[in-house]
């Protein structure tokens, strides 16, 4: 917002130019997050196992739910939407990954995908130029769930 919109924003469609690279990036993030959430303790135990399971489950639920939300809104689901949902799930589950039950990680996945999906829609309708949906996915997913889990 400080620098302004990209030249031509709103006049010409800015489609992603490499969907396979977007998917590869999301897969690498998902895999790397296992070193972040459960691996940060430095040893293996119940807490780390729970963090691993919750990280994977919330991310998968968020990715699938984002695709269903997109399908309900536009009539089509996309791989980019699934990647956005996966990143939203990773961001949202991080503060509580080792401290909540399995059922709660499913709820976090559904809730964060819903919140982040509608935040991205609001951003698009407001014509804010955010090429990576950073505000909707990282910002709202992270702030919302981190504040609920006592990080802030």
Q: Are 55 and 90 in contact (CB under 8 A)?
A: yes
SS (H, E, C) 110-140: HHHHHHHHHHHHHHHHCCCCCCCCHHHHHHH
**Highest mean predicted confidence (pLDDT) among 11-25, 32-46, 50-64, 123-137:** 50-64
Among 10, 7, 8, 1, which Cα is nearest to 135's? Answer: 1
Give a yes or no: residue 134 inside a domain. Answer: yes
- 147: tokens are 């504040």
For 85-139, write each residue's pLDDT tens digit.
Answer: 999 999 999 888 888 999 999 999 999 999 999 999 998 888 777 777 888 888 8
pTM: 0.85
Calculate mean pLDDT across residues 11-40. Answer: 86
Give a yes or no: residue 62 inside a domain. Answer: yes
Instruction: Report pLDDT for 133.
Output: 81
Give a yes or no: residue 69 inside a domain. Answer: yes
State the total domains in the chain: 1
Distance CA 83, CA 16 (A): 13
121 Cβ partners below 8 Å, 6+ apart? Answer: 73
Give a yes or no: residue 6 inside a domain. Answer: no
- 66: tokens are 């984002």
Among 139, 35, 27, which Cα is nearest to 82's? Answer: 27
86 Cβ partners below 8 Å, 6+ apart? Answer: 26, 29, 30, 59, 60, 62, 63, 66
Give a yes or no: residue 35 inside a domain. Answer: no
Give CA 103 to chain center in angstroms: 19
Res 150 pLDDT > 70: no
E-strand ranges in 1-152 read: none
> Domain range spanning residue 84?
45-148
Give a yes or no: residue 60 inside a domain. Answer: yes
């Amino acid at each position: 917002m400080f620098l302004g919109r990209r030249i031509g924003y709103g006049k010409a469609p800015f489609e992603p130019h490499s969907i396979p690279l977007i998917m590869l990036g999301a897969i690498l993030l998902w895999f790397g997050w296992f070193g972040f959430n459960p691996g940060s303790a430095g040893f293996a135990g119940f807490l780390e196992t729970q963090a691993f399971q919750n990280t994977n489950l919330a991310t998968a639920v968020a990715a699938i739910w984002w695709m269903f939300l997109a399908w309900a809104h536009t009539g089509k689901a996309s791989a980019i939407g699934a990647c956005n949902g996966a990143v939203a799930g990773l961001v949202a589950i991080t503060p509580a990954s080792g401290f909540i039950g399995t059922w709660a990680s499913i709820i976090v996945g559904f809730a964060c995908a819903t919140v982040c999906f509608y935040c991205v829609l609001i951003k698009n309708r407001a014509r804010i130029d955010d090429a990576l949906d950073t505000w909707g996915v990282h910002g709202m997913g992270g702030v919302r769930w981190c504040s609920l889990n006592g990080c802030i």
